[in-house]
């Protein structure tokens, strides 16, 4: 007898991926095993850290919000509506849900049993690919052009490449695995596993795999009394051994383990059982291969208990950056991820520092990053630049409040130093009394910089216009922004000085289009990519955004995009500047990793002809944007 409910479910599913890749008869069978779930508005489907359900869900009608809790606030990450899939995590990960799923209106969902649907996943390449890409990017529908590239992790959306490259890169395997022969006793094998603290051992003959024994075999075959510990390995080993080659991706390995219901794969020289054993891959290897996943790093950061744990996270972040560069992920996307994790590391350091203090903060305060951190462009482990603002207090309480925040800032900067962010040699840090001030003092400071902009003052203050709110009371920072905008109104003198500073570094090519290199000193004959390439673009973007009163865009690339939208007549120049900045930043980042330095100086002799051409082409927009500055601020004679 026909089931009209199942037919309605199948008729709906056939119009949405990945179900459209299945035949109608298959969909009818799946629908017969599915359930209809009704959710009232605000009803919870599952919560963060809940154990995985035995079903995954497809939204039929209504809307279900996906959210996380951060800083005691509920943050909506995504909203799933008709045809969107929710809760596929149990297919791929054996841990709990990472988000809350709550109905935002009355909703109908189709609940499809995971155990039953698995066979269709493994039998249909299109279905498995869809679900893998959805899981790898945390995207509800990776084939939806409207949402293409939206990646929901802990508290931010990223372009899907940032996470997918982690998931589809080659997995690292354990080399030189411990092996035994089939005549070894179970007791001997167990003793070896205990000695080397391993969960499996490959049984070999002439260096070829013939079986494998795991903890599971010992539990189910020995502990239950089915076999004796004096029996030989060939009695309890699992066979045949499933083998793979050395270059399989994380996704391929995880899918194969799921399909076969196993937790270990033997790596052989050509991927077959007829070749030499060279390694082993366990479920633990799959997990650790994803340890540099941005969402995982964010989660670990929020749970870190000390500076050493934060240091380990920052080390993993460095690996993530290197992998991203190797995979040619756009530098702008890498910067977004790194900036978010750097910010969360700083937030956690402040939380830990407050815990270390004898009392809670005596007044509202705000921590800001300045310079490259404020612009969210710190990819390398360079020094830290930050400042602290605290709310105005009575004169009687001022000294005590300021001393508290200086001590707090000292703990934070020292902790960040342990993590790997070196202390600023110029002491432009919140632990310096000069950069730990009340809001009124900061207003006076900016008033002085803007209205008395002697060239020395400009050199000092320019990075303080690249600030990013990190922690505390944002309204304090907003108050400073209002003060800045008020003071720069029609302030021709200020813009003249800032313009002159922006023009101090001309395009770094000589008359014959040769690179202008350092003439002497430690870096003689090297090219200063930061000072001669990046800084002119940074300075120009800062100046032009200030003059246009563009707020909330401190990142250089984002600044040029804002300028491009605001001034269509100059859009081509600003877009070229953004692209040039990306190219130069990538050169610097690669050099920093290669030489374990700040990446500022390039040895041109080591660059290929093509790289030199890319570098030269990146300098062309500098001349164009500087010409805009000369004309706009009438600096022909000033400079």
> What radius of gyration do the chain's Cα atoms show?
29
Q: 475: pLDDT confidence band, cut at 50, 70 and 90?
A: very high
For residues 298 and 343, membership in a common domain is answered with yes
Res. 458: pLDDT tops 70: no
Gap between the Cα atoms of 447 and 483, Å rounded: 8
Res. 145: pLDDT tops 50: no
Gap between the Cα atoms of 14 and 458, Å rounded: 64
For residues 449 and 367, membership in a common domain is answered with yes
| Per-residue model confidence as pLDDT tens digits over 302-358 | 888 999 999 998 988 888 888 778 777 788 878 888 888 899 999 999 999 999 998
Cβ partners under 8 Å of residue 516, min gap 6: 508, 509, 510, 527, 532
Res. 199: pLDDT tops 90: no
For residues 160 and 179, membership in a common domain is answered with no
Judge if the upstream peptide bond of residue 526 is cis by omega within 30 degrees of 0.
Answer: no
For residues 328 and 255, membership in a common domain is answered with no
Read off the pTM: 0.61
- How big is the chain, counted in residues? 639
User: Cβ of 16: how many Cβ atoms within 10 Å?
Assistant: 15
Q: In a 3-state reduction of DSSP, which class is residue 487?
A: helix
CATH number of the domain enclosing 380: 3.30.460.10
Element (H or E) spanning 451, and its range? helix 439-451
Gap between the Cα atoms of 568 and 11, Å rounded: 48
For residues 156 and 271, membership in a common domain is answered with no
CATH number of the domain enclosing 205: 3.10.580.10
pLDDT of residue 291: 56
The larger pLDDT score, comparing residue 260 to residue 469, is at: 469
pLDDT of residue 455: 63
For residues 485 and 532, membership in a common domain is answered with no
The number of angstroms, rounded, from the C-alpha of 529 to the middle of its chain's C-alpha atoms is 25
Q: Which residue segment(s) compose the domain that 520 sits in?
A: 496-632
- Whether 182 is covered by a domain: the verdict is yes
Q: Could you tell me if 237 and 211 are in contact, meaning their C-beta atoms sit under 8 angstroms apart?
A: yes
For residues 280 and 323, membership in a common domain is answered with no
- Whether 639 is covered by a domain: the verdict is no
Across the strands, what pairs with 109? 37, 59
Q: Which of 469, 489, 509 is the last residue of a domain?
A: 489
**Tokens 């179900």, located at residue:** 19
Q: Could you tell me if 601 and 528 are in contact, meaning their C-beta atoms sit under 8 angstroms apart?
A: yes
Which tokens belong to 306?
Answer: 């000390």
Gap between the Cα atoms of 115 and 581, Å rounded: 50
Q: 90: pLDDT confidence band, cut at 50, 70 and 90?
A: confident
- Whether 268 is covered by a domain: the verdict is yes
Interstrand relation of 200-205 and 179-180 (parallel, antiparallel or unpaired): parallel
User: Cβ of 261: how many Cβ atoms within 10 Å?
Assistant: 7
SS (H, E, C) 333-355: HHHHHHHHHHHHHHHHHHHHHHH
Q: Which of 264, 285, 306 is the last residue of a domain?
A: 285
Interstrand relation of 55-61 and 107-113 (parallel, antiparallel or unpaired): antiparallel
SS (H, E, C) 203-272: EEECCEEEEEEEHHHHHHHHCCCCCCCCCEHHHHCECCCCEECCCCEHHHHHHHHHHHCCCEEEEECCCC
Across the strands, what pairs with 515? 509
Res. 296: pLDDT tops 80: no
Q: Could you tell me if 577 and 541 are in contact, meaning their C-beta atoms sit under 8 angstroms apart?
A: yes
For residues 272 and 303, membership in a common domain is answered with no
For residues 511 and 389, membership in a common domain is answered with no
Q: What is the dihedral of CA 221, 223, 228, 231, to 10 degrees?
A: 50
Q: 148: pLDDT confidence band, cut at 50, 70 and 90?
A: very low
Interstrand relation of 73-80 and 107-113 (parallel, antiparallel or unpaired): unpaired
User: Where are the alpha helices (H) located in 99-185, listed in sequence order?
Assistant: 114-123, 125-137, 161-167
Q: 77: pLDDT confidence band, cut at 50, 70 and 90?
A: low
Out of 12-21, 272-281, 456-465, 606-615, pick the least confident.
456-465
- Whether 317 is covered by a domain: the verdict is yes
Res. 184: pLDDT tops 70: yes
Report the domain count for the chain.
Answer: 4
The larger pLDDT score, comparing residue 503 to residue 453, is at: 503
Q: Which of 457, 489, 521 is the last residue of a domain?
A: 489
Res. 105: pLDDT tops 60: yes
| Per-residue model confidence as pLDDT tens digits over 348-404 | 999 999 999 989 999 999 999 999 999 999 888 888 999 999 999 999 999 999 999
Res. 628: pLDDT tops 70: yes
Gap between the Cα atoms of 281 and 241, Å rounded: 12
491-510: b (≥16 Cβ within 10 Å) or e: beebbbbbbbbbbebebbbe
114 to 18, 55, 121, 416, 632: CA distances (angstroms): 14, 5, 10, 44, 63
For residues 257 and 300, membership in a common domain is answered with no
For residues 90 and 210, membership in a common domain is answered with no
The larger pLDDT score, comparing residue 251 to residue 317, is at: 317
Res. 131: pLDDT tops 80: no
Element (H or E) spanning 79, and its range? strand 73-80
For residues 620 and 534, membership in a common domain is answered with yes
296 to 252, 287, 399: CA distances (angstroms): 20, 10, 41
- Whether 480 is covered by a domain: the verdict is yes
- Whether 622 is covered by a domain: the verdict is yes
Cβ partners under 8 Å of residue 389, min gap 6: 365, 366, 368, 437, 438, 439, 442, 472, 476, 477, 480
Res. 252: pLDDT tops 90: no
Which tokens belong to 355?
Answer: 């815990």
- Whether 638 is covered by a domain: the verdict is no
| Per-residue model confidence as pLDDT tens digits over 397-423 | 999 999 999 999 999 999 999 999 999
């Amino acid at each position: 007898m026909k089931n009209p409910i199942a037919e309605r479910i199948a008729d709906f599913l056939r119009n949405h991926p990945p179900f459209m890749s299945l035949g109608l008869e298959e969909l009818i069978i799946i629908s017969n095993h599915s359930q209809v779930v009704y959710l009232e508005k605000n009803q919870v489907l599952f919560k963060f850290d809940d154990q995985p359900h035995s079903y995954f869900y497809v939204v039929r009608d209504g809307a279900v919000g996906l959210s996380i809790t951060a800083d005691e606030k509920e943050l909506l990450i995504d909203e799933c509506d008709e045809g969107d899939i929710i809760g596929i995590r149990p297919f791929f990960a054996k841990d709990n849900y990472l988000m809350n799923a709550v109905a935002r209106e009355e909703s109908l969902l189709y609940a499809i049993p995971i155990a039953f649907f698995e066979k269709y996943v493994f039998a249909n390449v299109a279905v498995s690919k869809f679900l893998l890409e959805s899981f790898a990017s945390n995207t509800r529908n990776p084939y939806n052009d409207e949402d293409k590239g939206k990646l929901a992790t802990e508290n931010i959306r990223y372009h899907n490449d940032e996470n997918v490259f982690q998931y589809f890169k080659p997995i690292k395997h354990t080399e030189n695995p411990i092996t035994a022969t089939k005549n070894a006793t179970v007791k001997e094998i167990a003793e070896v596993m205990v000695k080397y603290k391993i969960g499996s051992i490959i049984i070999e003959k002439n260096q070829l795999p013939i079986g494998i024994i795991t903890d599971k075999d010992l539990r189910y075959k020995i502990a239950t009394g089915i076999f004796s510990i004096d029996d030989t390995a060939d009695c309890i080993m699992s066979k045949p051994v499933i083998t793979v080659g050395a270059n399989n991706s994380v996704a391929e390995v995880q899918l194969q383990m799921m399909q076969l219901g196993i937790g270990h794969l033997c790596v052989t020289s050509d991927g077959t059982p007829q070749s030499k054993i060279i390694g082993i891959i366990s479920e633990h290897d799959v997990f650790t291969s994803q340890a540099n996943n941005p969402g995982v790093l964010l989660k670990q950061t929020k749970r870190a208990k000390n500076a050493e744990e934060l240091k380990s996270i920052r080390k993993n972040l460095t690996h993530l950056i290197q992998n991203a560069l190797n995979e040619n992920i756009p530098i702008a996307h890498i910067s977004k991820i790194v900036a978010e994790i750097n910010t969360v590391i700083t937030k956690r350091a402040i939380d830990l520092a407050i815990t270390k203090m004898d009392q809670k903060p005596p007044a509202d305060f705000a921590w800001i990053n300045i310079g490259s951190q404020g612009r969210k462009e710190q990819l390398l482990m360079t020094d830290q630049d930050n400042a602290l603002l605290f709310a105005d207090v009575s004169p009687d309480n001022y000294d005590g409040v300021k001393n508290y925040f200086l001590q707090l800032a000292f703990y934070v900067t020292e902790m960040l130093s342990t993590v790997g962010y070196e202390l600023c040699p110029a002491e432009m840090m919140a632990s310096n009394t000069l950069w730990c001030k009340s809001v009124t003092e900061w207003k006076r400071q900016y008033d002085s910089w803007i209205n008395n902009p002697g060239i020395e003052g400009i050199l000092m203050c320019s990075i303080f216009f690249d600030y990013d709110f990190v922690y505390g009371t944002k309204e304090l920072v907003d108050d400073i922004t209002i003060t800045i905008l008020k003071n720069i109104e029609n302030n021709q003198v200020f813009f003249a000085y800032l313009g002159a500073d922006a023009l101090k570094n001309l395009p770094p090519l000589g008359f014959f289009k040769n690179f202008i290199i350092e003439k002497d000193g430690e870096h003689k004959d090297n090219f200063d990519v930061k000072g001669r390439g990046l800084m002119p673009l940074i300075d120009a973007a800062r100046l032009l955004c200030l003059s246009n009163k563009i707020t909330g865009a401190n990142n250089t690339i984002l600044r040029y995009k804002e300028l491009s939208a605001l001034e269509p007549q100059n859009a081509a120049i600003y877009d070229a500047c953004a692209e040039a900045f990306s190219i130069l930043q990538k050169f610097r980042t690669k050099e920093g990793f290669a030489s374990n330095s700040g990446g500022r100086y390039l040895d041109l002799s080591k660059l290929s002809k093509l790289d030199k051409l890319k570098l030269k082409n990146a300098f062309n927009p500098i001349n164009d944007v500087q010409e805009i500055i000369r004309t706009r601020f009438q600096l022909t004679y000033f400079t």
